Structure 1
Amino acid sequence: MSVLGVGGVFVKSNDPEVSKAWYRDVLGMELSDYGEFEFRHGEAAARYGDGARTIFARFKADTEYFQPSTQPFMINLLVDDLDALLERIKAHGVELIGEPESHDYGRFAWIMDPDGMKIELWESVEL
């Protein structure tokens, strides 16, 4: 028996319809017939090989990494074209938190969603 991965992330929202519309409009995510967002692993694996992964990590309770959010968690979204997504985000008037960063394992940028949750955008590299 083993855990194979994250099967879903379920988040409370003061206004789920507004939040879903924001993710659809600002990030270009498509709602499924069930009113949720699905990520099919095959496309990410085809593009990034072993670079397509889901990280489950624990941080100390006093970490500042999730700031300015006061939520106890942050979502990292794997994206295929960070530059194009940043232009889309800018067109919707959403401000970045800090400056985008590049590392040997990918490029990153951060924004806040309408519920005050920090979103980390990650363009992976093929491993």
Structure 2
Amino acid sequence: MTLKRMDNVLIVVDDLEATKAFFIELGLKLEGETTVEGPLIGQLIGLKDVRATLAMMRTPDGQGIELDKFHTPNAIRFGPVDQPVNTLGIRRIMFAVDDIDAIVARMRAHGAELIGEMQYADTYRLAYIRGPEGIIVGLAEQLGGDTPDV
């Protein structure tokens, strides 16, 4: 057996509406939203008395980001929302974009914080922004040459 593809990434959030709006503004589409609950869900994820609202977001190329808001049991915040990039665990999602400046300006107008940006020679630019729930999003714009492994 071989790995076929990545299906989606899960982000547990407290403010589902703000996080959906952030990703929609970034360019993802809301594919669907539902509430799940019951013993089968709890057995799958190892929790009891689960009730959660799930929103499935899709990138233009079809990759999935699942946003979950747990109603029961309550989600647990581990550390501050503005943890730095070197905090253990999954710390960012990166997207390839056409125009970093335009996207950063648009996202800042919607409350995102610019963490930093850089340019690597004449091949690509990177920017990190922080959105709701402390989610860090990396943006990579190819300027020329080969596609970087970022």
**TM class by shorter-chain length?**
0.5 to 0.7
Tell me which amino acid in the other structure corresponds to 1:10: L
Matched, 1:113 2:113: no
Change (3 A) 1:20 1:70: farther
* CA–CA separation in structure 1 for the residues paired with 2:7 and 2:27: 21
| RMSD of aligned Cα (Å) | 2.8
Bigger fraction of residues in strand: 2
The counterpart of 1:90, out of the listed 108, 119, 126, is 108
Change (3 A) 1:19 1:90: closer
Change (3 A) 1:85 1:71: farther
Partner of 2:43: none
Number of positions where the alignment pairs a residue of Structure 1 with one of Structure 2:
102
Taking structure 2 as the reference length, the TM-score comes to 0.54
Instruction: Structure 1: state its 5+ residue gaps.
Output: 43-65
Bigger fraction of residues in helix: 1
* CA–CA separation in structure 1 for the residues paired with 2:102 and 2:29: 17
Taking structure 1 as the reference length, the TM-score comes to 0.62
Name which one, 1 or 2, has greater alpha-carbon Rg: 2
* CA–CA separation in structure 1 for the residues paired with 2:145 and 2:56: 28
Structure of higher RCO (CA pairs closer than 8 Å, 6+ residues apart) = 1
Change (3 A) 1:112 1:14: same
* CA–CA separation in structure 2 for the residues paired with 1:16 and 1:114: 9
Q: Is the partner of 1:37 in helix, strand or coil?
A: strand
Q: Is the partner of 2:140 in helix, strand or coil?
A: strand
Q: Is the partner of 2:17 in helix, strand or coil?
A: helix
Q: Name the % identity.
A: 31
Instruction: Structure 2: state its 5+ residue gaps.
Output: 34-54, 63-82
Q: How does 1:28-67 map to 2 (within 5 A)?
A: 28-34=27-33, 35-41=55-61, 67=84
* CA–CA separation in structure 2 for the residues paired with 1:113 and 1:71: 19
Matched, 1:72 2:89: yes
Change (3 A) 1:112 1:81: same
